[in-house]
């Protein structure tokens, strides 16, 4: 499915859509493999010479048999309607999120969240439900972070946004980096109502 578009339902429909997508997109980074059954990756579609094309993030939930269960695409919507409905403000919020997390500023990061919000970091682990739980998560979880850097452009489609970035961490025994894709939903005030972080062991890099 694409946010705001009809769902693609059934094996035949999903595989047909996947073949069409595979022909028109270029992967823009590695898979983010989660502890759950979902994977995500950034890519680009369209474009020509001197044209990078339109950025997107694909999220696929794969069952134990390796078959696609759900497939969501967040492709950057630059239409006039999207601009009027707040897509630029939402892209800015995603960029601000990466910057604020990078300086380990929990209080500034929390200003980007609504009063009702959830966080699942990484996907496949217990969800932090409610504002109080999210505040506890950020106030306790950012201290090891020493910096962040974007890996791809922020993309926004309807009330869903995504951004890929690198997180640098100084752990007690070593320094590592994690390449992550965070997927957010927004309320009408362009504040986050949920965040899901896509990363797994294969996305951890020694420094």
- DSSP, collapsed to helix, strand or coil, labels residue 121 as coil
Catalytic residue among 58, 76, 77, 97: 97
Which runs of E-coded beta strand occur in the chain?
Answer: 25-27, 32-33, 38-45, 54-62, 68-75, 113-120, 128-129, 145-150, 155-157, 160-170, 175-186, 192-198, 204-206
Radius of gyration of the chain (CA): 17
Catalytic residue among 28, 118, 121, 182: 121
- C-alpha angle 68/69/71, rounded to 5°? 75
Rounded Cα gap, residues 110 and 115, in angstroms: 10
Q: Please give the structure tokens belonging to residue 104.
A: 């380990």
97 annotated active-site? yes
Handedness of CA 12, 196, 111, 135 (dihedral sign): positive
113 annotated active-site? no
Question: HEC string of 69-114?
Answer: EEEEEEECCCCHHHHHCCHHHHHHHHHHHHHHHHCCCHHHHHCCEE
Catalytically active residues, by annotation: 97, 121
């Amino acid at each position: 499915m694409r946010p705001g578009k009809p769902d693609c339902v059934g094996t035949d429909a999903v595989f047909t859509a996947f073949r069409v997508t595979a022909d028109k997109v270029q992967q823009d980074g590695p898979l983010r493999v989660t502890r759950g059954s979902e994977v995500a990756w950034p890519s680009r579609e369209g474009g020509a010479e001197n044209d990078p094309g339109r950025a997107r993030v694909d999220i696929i939930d794969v069952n134990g048999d390796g078959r696609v269960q759900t497939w969501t695409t967040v492709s950057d919507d630059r239409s006039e309607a999207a601009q009027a409905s707040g897509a630029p403000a939402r892209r800015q919020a995603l960029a601000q999120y990466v910057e604020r997390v990078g300086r380990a500023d929990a209080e500034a990061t929390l200003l980007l969240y609504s009063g009702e919000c959830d966080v699942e970091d990484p996907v496949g682990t217990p969800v932090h439900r409610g504002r109080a739980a999210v505040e506890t998560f950020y106030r306790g979880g950012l201290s090891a972070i020493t910096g962040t850097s974007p890996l791809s452009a922020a993309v926004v489609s309807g009330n869903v946004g995504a951004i890929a970035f690198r997180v640098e961490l100084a752990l007690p025994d070593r320094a590592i980096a994690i390449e992550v894709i965070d997927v957010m939903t927004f309320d009408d005030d362009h504040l986050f109502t949920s965040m899901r972080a896509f990363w797994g062991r294969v996305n951890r890099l020694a420094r």
